[in-house]
Amino acid sequence: MSSLFNGGIKVSLFGESHGKGIGVILDNLPAGEELDLDKIAEFMARRAPKKDGMSTTRSEKDIPEILSGLYNGKTTGTPLCAVIMNSDQHSSDYGNISHIARPAHADYTGYLRYNGANDPRGGGHFSGRITAPLVFAGAVCSQILEHRGITTGAHIASVKNIKDESFDPVNITAEQLEAVKSRSFPVLSNEAEEKMRELINSARESLDSVGGVVECAAVGFPAGIGSPMMDGLENIISRLVFAIPAVKGIEFGNGFGCTELFGSENNDAFAMKDGAVTTLTNNHGGILGGISSGMPIIFRAAFKPTPSIARPQKSVDFKTMTDEELIIKGRHDPCVVHRAVPCVESAMNIALLSALIDNINI
Amino acid sequence: MSSLFNGGIKVSLFGESHGKGIGVILDNLPAGEELDLDKIAEFMARRAPKKDGMSTTRSEKDIPEILSGLYNGKTTGTPLCAVIMNSDQHSSDYGNISHIARPAHADYTGYLRYNGANDPRGGGHFSGRITAPLVFAGAVCSQILEHRGITTGAHIASVKNIKDESFDPVNITAEQLEAVKSRSFPVLSNEAEEKMRELINSARESLDSVGGVVECAAVGFPAGIGSPMMDGLENIISRLVFAIPAVKGIEFGNGFGCTELFGSENNDAFAMKDGAVTTLTNNHGGILGGISSGMPIIFRAAFKPTPSIARPQKSVDFKTMTDEELIIKGRHDPCVVHRAVPCVESAMNIALLSALIDNINI
Amino acid sequence: MSSLFNGGIKVSLFGESHGKGIGVILDNLPAGEELDLDKIAEFMARRAPKKDGMSTTRSEKDIPEILSGLYNGKTTGTPLCAVIMNSDQHSSDYGNISHIARPAHADYTGYLRYNGANDPRGGGHFSGRITAPLVFAGAVCSQILEHRGITTGAHIASVKNIKDESFDPVNITAEQLEAVKSRSFPVLSNEAEEKMRELINSARESLDSVGGVVECAAVGFPAGIGSPMMDGLENIISRLVFAIPAVKGIEFGNGFGCTELFGSENNDAFAMKDGAVTTLTNNHGGILGGISSGMPIIFRAAFKPTPSIARPQKSVDFKTMTDEELIIKGRHDPCVVHRAVPCVESAMNIALLSALIDNINI
Amino acid sequence: MSSLFNGGIKVSLFGESHGKGIGVILDNLPAGEELDLDKIAEFMARRAPKKDGMSTTRSEKDIPEILSGLYNGKTTGTPLCAVIMNSDQHSSDYGNISHIARPAHADYTGYLRYNGANDPRGGGHFSGRITAPLVFAGAVCSQILEHRGITTGAHIASVKNIKDESFDPVNITAEQLEAVKSRSFPVLSNEAEEKMRELINSARESLDSVGGVVECAAVGFPAGIGSPMMDGLENIISRLVFAIPAVKGIEFGNGFGCTELFGSENNDAFAMKDGAVTTLTNNHGGILGGISSGMPIIFRAAFKPTPSIARPQKSVDFKTMTDEELIIKGRHDPCVVHRAVPCVESAMNIALLSALIDNINI
């Protein structure tokens, strides 16, 4: 029961929202991989809150210091540790709510799990802030994947009932995946961006919040990687995606949609193309039997609306065991979906690199 | 990369569809747990194909022989191994398709993954048949959970576009969960059953297949069990559920539905009830921050339509690398969703018992 | 806390001495490896008791039935399960001692660990009998290593105070390692064999037992495999060797002997030989920093004298909590060291194949 | 293949000798355990080099900064990360030897393992310096064990041929284990200390080094903890002890000595004492079948002489593949055994706490 992903890559996360520092150890990385620290910073900046009304006003510089595992600009192959010191902490904001459970947060369950000894400030280890080192890890893995011609990317598929266009599951390209990364608000359609921004602003103004769906894809991932049963790509990716707070669902390829099709509609016909085996459609999301098919890998993750809203809410004080009304102070995101995009990519990157490393090649 | 779930309980699955035998080792079970073998047989019978036109006509007696780990009717605490010998094998049915990829199956990806050395007969280790030992494992865990007042159950939430009623996420009872187990077709609504049976029959007659959604719930599971990040209940359950062939999605509580709500709608208000902390609604599906809240645990899993259909399909011969038309012979399920119900319960049972065992108590 | 080795290869052992069957699942094996079942049987026969007064008269045919993971004579890459049914069980021999702790056995500790629910007959899961599937696993790994030019072997280094010659740590060859396997009593020196046999016979006649040391070596293992810290070759090998009942110590290379040397004596000078890096001596036992150096890998394991002796012994009844005198009936080995030789090799084989598979190669 | 111990407690180590920092994440600790930071500092000081000619003159302040997992002086139960920044680095000392393999070091094997990308300065991740965070982890676990009445301790059993007295395996007390910790040179006998110091000084003066044996014990550890086969106490302890650089052997209880006894001599008779089951002797070292017996747990670890000696040594340049003479500069320990004492205790502490946490208690 740990904050450790123990796959091909071992990712050990630590930190609390208002503790001294947060960070990650990445172990079992391949040695000799050149890392571009500026690109890592760019990747992480996509997760950081921006001053555009879309997210918390908490300022997170989040400059990771790499303490080990990097030598002459390349991975050493021994554990790579990165630390981000916390600075802009407003712990006092949280002083008065420590035993009144914030709805949809882990205050109450964490209190039980840790016998009241966990750090409650800002959610402690349950905070979305711990996705910063997860994203660092994802950024590192991303570069190692790129060295092998593998590109991943993601976009906001929806915010509440506003939908973006979808990735083309058959023809999506690395260029398209890269393009969306350069947008401050990661969608494919300008029109969707405008409507989503409006909706988020409106939610913020009405002291409310919204959730949405992130769609993630990988291209260039070789066919034949993964395993049936417990260590399939779906198993690994989903285990990592559910490490991101607020995720309540995941679906691969056509996902829940495939339950409404006949087999004759959902089955992806195989066909030779340019001398290679492909499928004409990609309802399977690039994974069959837990193993990559060579088609783009595609999944979607559902994020619930941000639990922290400024409206008064009914709750209980779990220490005194009495009903209480709760008003949450502090700075919060009216929507986390845009900031979740690099988190979801990171989960994918860690999973894919892990599967590659676990592939037997002796 | 293995067929091993290495959580609190270690579940190591083996076998191929047309090999000598299939089975499972369950390791790290608590010692001294009385097992009712008749109840295990009943549990497994719910997965076995029935002669009602709803499933394959392959006859699977599937009587597991327990070779170890059980002494005087109780678990010894040392590894429990159960073996099911394969008997009714029609391997010749599969002779002519071994290198033509069946769409939506793992023939091609498995061939790549294992360099052509895997057993292709009937899907080999990728076969849904390997869920028989998974269900055995789930049945064992089910009884150990019951000894602690924990009950799980599942039903068909939908087949294609036909929907069953839903579990009441707040008030669902152990009795209701047990009741659905005694039905030959596990739904809550008689009307839904009738329509679903019709639909499945019609799909079978038109040489097609359908998929659907299974909804699973647990009651009586204590609050405070689980972990944030990588070993949360959602992480563990999803890893196990994706071990079931044909699963393409999973969602907890309100799942993808919560992305269409405002935070003020989705947040479950806490309230004291009979001296205990509860929530008035259960959009969170009994899990907050990866940890149980004491409310019913609820999730849904999406099953794609059975890939094996008797219609001619476009495909490729991945050995000769040529386009081919494929006609699948043999016996197949026009729908696997009703047989998947105990599989999903089993994934839940293994996950919950694992989480209980991983709970620190020193 | 399990009977599972979860390294590059996953080895999941099950069974009790007097249960229905014992066996093993080997998971994550490379696919397409041809297995010679006769050679596996020969390997296992080296562990089986022989009718020469050196071991128990319990007859163990021990013909493993492979239920999965082998197709057309080759590994499929999916889990390989082998089962050995128990047949020659004299459980009644053990009837009267179930709560009187046999000294140096795990009766008492097992009773506590499993709350009295473990199978006590013949030691249950603690029995040396469970080394039969371990040796099966070792025999399989042995062949996969041989396909890559790697040979392992072992001999009795000592029985009580009688010493065999030692392997030449620098020049030991595959031929020498193979040669000792064909001996019914695996030593290098005929003179040592004679004295050891005499000693074992004499111990048997005086209702006593003896222990000894097994020396194990590998040649042909490539340099550069392993890891520092927790997953070094020494860590993995020792973890596996201590899975063999009766082992109380392990040392690599010069081992405890190196503590009596100066650094200038113990350091192995490097030197070029035939274009390759070698060392002139091999006090390091082929492992530096947990990683193979290309020199023969050498270690020794200490086996305590067989705990079961027919003499009356002081003990306690741990149920009634009273002092008792104990007389052990049944068939027992006056010495297990010769039968332990293939067990130790098996631990080495599993460890080396695991390390090879864990080696990153992407 | 990682620097991660993934047992009941997860210990993830990172760092290189001359990198920015070294440290550790401890995950799955029980929550609410009060930690005395001064006692941790004292524990770590026992490992630090002292200015008494017995060790390197490298100054290691080694003040760990705890970044997470500690709140109000107690463990939170979420990952505890401690970082030690490197300061007194003399990297230039190592500049000229980076491709000439230092005998008995991991320069050559590490170069192969990491394709030349590992940090070679001062041994990089292979350095004994990485035992500082290991000892931090051991100090933390030590306190959590003490809260449960469990005390561990160790002493130098020998330096080269000079032997200390031994722990009394039956009657050793917590007080005796504590007493040896307060000695600057951890032995039981003053006479042994004097001779050992002389020997180490003499080795240093002759540009040589010596090794030795550390004996470690635990008292108060409850009976019935551990497991047979792969996760026995011996398996876990040995895996952790071999994580300490320079260890070449380990033995439990009577260890290799038991191979020279008859079974009738080596078997420890059980006897009731003060209403509890005990053994009259303790050749088994407190572990039977991998499970604690309630008697003191005792083992010994063999440390080779420090590989770094100032004498000219024969070696090779593994980049140019030529024979070379090597002269090692820099500051080195003529003996590491006294500094190894808290390292060995730490391995024991981590192993025992892991086993306690893995104990099923549901």
Give per-residue pLDDT as tens, B21-62.
999 999 999 999 999 999 999 999 999 987 777 777 666 678
Q: Which long-range contacts (CB under 8 A, 24 or more apart) does B41-48 make?
A: B43/B135, B43/B138, B43/B139, B43/B142, B43/B342, B44/B132, B44/B135, B44/B136, B44/B139, B44/B342, B46/B135, B46/B181, B46/B186, B46/B339, B46/B341, B46/B342, B47/B131, B47/B132, B47/B135, B47/B339, B47/B342, B47/B343, B48/B339
Question: Which residue type, as a one-letter code, is found at position A107?
Answer: D
Please provide the average confidence, as pLDDT, over all residues in chain B: 94
Q: Tell me the nearest-neighbour CA distance from D205 into chain A, angstroms.
A: 35
Could you report the per-residue pLDDT of D135-154, keeping only the tens digit for each?
999 999 999 999 999 999 99
pLDDT surpassing 90 at residue C97? no
With a cut of 80, say whether residue B124 has pLDDT above it: yes
Beta bridge partners of B272: B277
Asked if residue A119 has pLDDT above 90, the reply is yes
Subunit contact C211:D285, Cβ cutoff 8 A: no
pLDDT at D92: 52
Confidence of residue C358 (pLDDT cuts 50, 70, 90): very high
Mean pLDDT of C103-120: 96
In chain C, the percentage of residues whose pLDDT exceeds 90 is 89
Calculate mean pLDDT across residues B83-108: 78
- What is the rounded end-to-end Cα distance, in angstroms, of chain D? 32
Sign of CA dihedral D213, D214, D219, D221: negative
Q: Cα-atom radius of gyration of chain A, to the nearest Å?
A: 21
CB contact under 8 A, A30 and C360: yes
Closest among D219, D265, D221, D273 to C103, alpha carbons compared: D265
Encode D103-136: b = buried (16+ Cβ within 10 Å), e = exposed. bbbbbbbbbbbbebbbbbbbbbbbbbbbbbbbbb
pLDDT-derived band at A57 (thresholds 50, 70, 90) equals low
Interface size B-D, in CB pairs within 8 Å, comes to 25
> In chain A, which residue's Cα lies nearest the Cα of D116?
A32
pLDDT at D52: 76
pLDDT recorded at residue D84? 97
| Residue A255 backbone class (left: φ over 0; alpha: ψ -120 to 50; beta: rest) | left
Asked whether the beta carbons of C98 and C120 are under 8 A apart, the reply is yes
Residues B302-327 have a mean pLDDT of 95
C291: its two tokens: 């990683």
Q: Is B10–C4 a contact, with Cβ atoms under 8 angstroms apart?
A: yes
In the sheet with D80-85, reading across from the earlier edge strand, the strands are D4-6, D10-14, D21-27, D80-85, D65-68
Predicted pLDDT of residue B61: 72
Q: What is the mean pLDDT of residues B273-302?
A: 98
HEC sequence for D190-251: HHHHHHHHHHHHHHHHCCCCECEEEEEEEECCCCCCECCHHHCHHHHHHHHHCCCCCEEEEE
CA dist D68 and D58 (Å) reads: 29
| Cα gap B324→A76, rounded to integer Å | 48
C354 close to C9: Cβ distance less than 8 angstroms: yes
* Cβ–Cβ gap B360/D357 under 8 Å: yes
Q: What would the DSSP string read from start to end of C87-117? A: ----GGGGGGGTTBPPTTSSHHHHHHHTTT-
3-state DSSP assignment of residue D346: helix
Would you state the pLDDT for residue A88?
Answer: 61
Nearest to C350 by CA among C2, C78, C1, C13: C13
Chain C nearest-CA distance from B15, in A, is: 5
Q: Is D316 helix (H, G, I), strand (E, B) or coil?
A: strand
Chains that touch C (3 or more CB pairs under 8 A): A, B, D
Q: What is the pLDDT of residue C89?
A: 59
Chain C residue numbers with beta carbons less than 8 Å from the beta carbon of A28 are 360
pLDDT beyond 60 at B97: no
Is B106 or D362 the better-scoring residue by pLDDT? B106
Residue A262 is given by DSSP the state: B
Helices D37-45 and D131-146: crossing angle in degrees, nearest 10, is: 130
> Model confidence over D108-137: pLDDT tens digits?
999 999 999 999 998 999 999 999 999 999
Mean pLDDT along residues A21-34: 97
Helical packing angle, A131-146 and A337-358, nearest 10°? 50
Whole-number mean pLDDT of chain C?
94
Q: Name the phi and psi angles at A250, rounded to 5.
A: -150, 145
**D43-90 per-position pLDDT tens digit:** 999 999 877 777 766 666 788 999 999 999 999 999 999 999 998 655
**Facing residue for D104 by CB, picked from C160, C272, C284:** C284
* Contact call for D314 and C280, based on CB within 8 A: yes
Q: What is the pLDDT of residues D224-262, one digit of tens each?
A: 999 999 999 999 999 999 999 999 999 999 999 999 999
pTM of the model: 0.97
Tell me the mean pLDDT in the region C234-248: 98
pLDDT at D96 over 60: no
8 Å CB contact between B305 and A258: yes
Which residue among A126, A211, A235 sits closest to B228, beta carbon to beta carbon?
A126
Q: What's the burial of B276, exposed, middle or buried (CB within 10 Å: 0-12/13-18/19+)?
A: exposed
Amino acid, single-letter form, for residue D167: F
Is the Cβ pair A362, C362 closer than 8 Å? no
Q: How far apart are CA D39 and CA C333, in angstroms?
A: 50
Task: Report CB contact under 8 Å: B101, A262.
Answer: no
pLDDT beyond 70 at C58: no
**For a pLDDT cut of 90, what percent of chain D falls above it?**
89
| Residues of chain B found within 8 Å of residue D362, distances taken between Cβ atoms | 30, 148, 356-357, 359, 361
Partners of C26 on chain B (C-beta within 8 Å) are: none
Cβ neighbour number for residue D181 with a 10 Å cutoff: 18
Q: What share of chain B has pLDDT > 90, as a percent? A: 89
The pLDDT of residue B362: 84
Per-residue pLDDT band at A90 (split at 50, 70, 90): low
List the single residue in C77, C80, C124 with the smallest CB-CB distance to B78: C124
Q: Quick one: tokens of A245?
A: 């707070």
pLDDT tens for residues A298-356? 999 999 999 999 999 999 999 999 999 999 987 788 999 999 999 999 999 999 999 99
Model pLDDT, residue D49: 84
Closest CA to C358 of C230, C231, C217: C231
Which among D229, D238, D318 has CB closest to C238? D238
Which residues are CB-contacts of C42 (< 8 A; sequence separation ≥ 6)? Answer: none
Q: Which residue has the tokens 């792969």?
A: D230
Query: Can you give the pLDDT at residue C1?
Result: 77
Residues of chain D whose beta carbon is less than 8 angstroms from a beta carbon of chain B are 28, 30-31, 77-78, 148, 228, 356-357, 359-362
**pLDDT at residue D95 greater than cutoff 60:** no
DSSP lists the bridge partners of residue C301 as C214, C250
Q: If you average pLDDT over residues B245-255, what whole number do you get? A: 98
Query: What tens digit of pLDDT does each residue of D294-320 get?
Result: 999 999 999 999 999 999 999 999 999
Among the residue ranges A223-227, C96-100, D79-83, D101-105, the one predicted with the least confidence is: C96-100
Local confidence band at A126 (pLDDT 50, 70, 90 cut-offs):
very high
Residue A80 with chain D: CB contacts under 8 Å: 14
Other Cβ atoms within 10 Å of B71 Cβ, number: 22
Distance of CA C64 to the CA centre of its chain: 18
Does residue A92 surpass a pLDDT of 60?
no
Provide the H-helix boundaries in C70-205.
107-113, 131-146, 174-181, 190-205
